[in-house]
A and B are shown apart, each in its own frame.
Chain A
Amino acid sequence: DSGVTQTPKHLITATGQRVTLRCSPRSGDLSVYWYQQSLDQGLQFLIQYYNGEERAKGNILERFSAQQFPDLHSELNLSSLELGDSALYFCASSVDGTSYEQYFGPGTRLTVT
């Protein structure tokens, strides 16, 4: 158990819908990262937050947005969903935003039908 929690574990929704994925980092970690992992694909970095502020942005679509709240939990919002958005979405946390290892949550499996 990494100490990072993600909800829900599974999500099935239809095209065009909007969903919110939630992540709580390990106690004491200030930085949260979001990754997308499609079937047999590597980890695609989406976005990073550090202590409530956006720190780095990767290949995140404009239909996707995220935020980190004062209690350091984070939410990833995915809108106008398409079939191709079906994937595993991982949240990871680290002590700070630069040099420390990342601890991954169990992931949310999103299926868009």
Chain B
Amino acid sequence: GQQVMQIPQYQHVQEGEDFTTYCNSSTTLSNIQWYKQRPGGHPVFLIQLVKSGEVKKQKRLTFQFGEAKKNSSLHITATQTTDVGTYFCAGKISSGSARQLTFGSGTQLTVLP
């Protein structure tokens, strides 16, 4: 079935270092969304990418959607302790009857002060 793989599963960085998480799908996605879940919290929507090769920025966060619409990445520049949490990608396949988002397994980011 439709799978969205996310790597790495865990990442520890020193405050100020950069961080990247990658998301790969076995099938073409119509769009991809990114969510952040703080420890003890609920997932919070960050952004949606729709177009092939799309790049969007939110302050220190850069989101990319691959040309083939099968992969995506989230890059954080100069991490801060407030970036701690689990980052999930979620993809919607572009064909078939499935209408739900398929979430990746998440990347748990720890930022060491």
Q: Cβ of B66 < 8 Å from any Cβ of A?
A: no
Q: Which residue of B lies closest to A106 (CB)?
A: B42
Residues of A within 8 A of B101 (CB): 45, 102
B72 CB to nearest A CB, Å: 15
8 Å CB contacts to A: which residues of B81-103?
A: 88, 90, 92, 98-103
Interface of B is mostly: strand
Q: Does B44 lie within 8 Å of A2, measured CB to CB?
A: yes
Q: How large is the interface on A (under 10, 10 to 19, 20 to 34, 35 or more residues)?
A: 20 to 34
Residues of B within 8 A of A45 (CB): 100-103
Q: Cβ of A42 < 8 Å from any Cβ of B?
A: yes
Q: Which residue of A lies closest to B100 (CB)?
A: A56
Q: Cβ of A83 < 8 Å from any Cβ of B?
A: no
Number of chain B residues whose Cβ lies closer than 8 Å to a Cβ of chain A: 22
Known: A97-B99, A101-B48. A42 touches B104 (CB 8 A): yes
Q: Cβ of A48 < 8 Å from any Cβ of B?
A: yes
In the assembled complex, the Cα of A2 lies from the Cα of B100 at a distance in Å of: 20
In the assembled complex, the Cα of A106 lies from the Cα of B44 at a distance in Å of: 10
Q: Does A56 lie within 8 Å of B43, measured CB to CB?
A: no
Q: Does B44 lie within 8 Å of A104, measured CB to CB?
A: yes
Q: Which residue of A lies closest to B4 (CB)?
A: A42
Q: Which residue of B lies closest to A105 (CB)?
A: B42
Known: A42-B104, A43-B88, A101-B33. A56 touches B44 (CB 8 A): no
Partner of A107, one of B42, B48, B100, B102: B42
Q: Does A90 lie within 8 Å of B99, measured CB to CB?
A: no
Q: Does A98 lie within 8 Å of B105, measured CB to CB?
A: no
Q: List 13 A-B contacts (CB under 8 A).
A: A35-B103, A42-B106, A43-B103, A45-B100, A45-B102, A48-B100, A56-B100, A97-B99, A98-B99, A99-B31, A102-B45, A104-B35, A104-B44
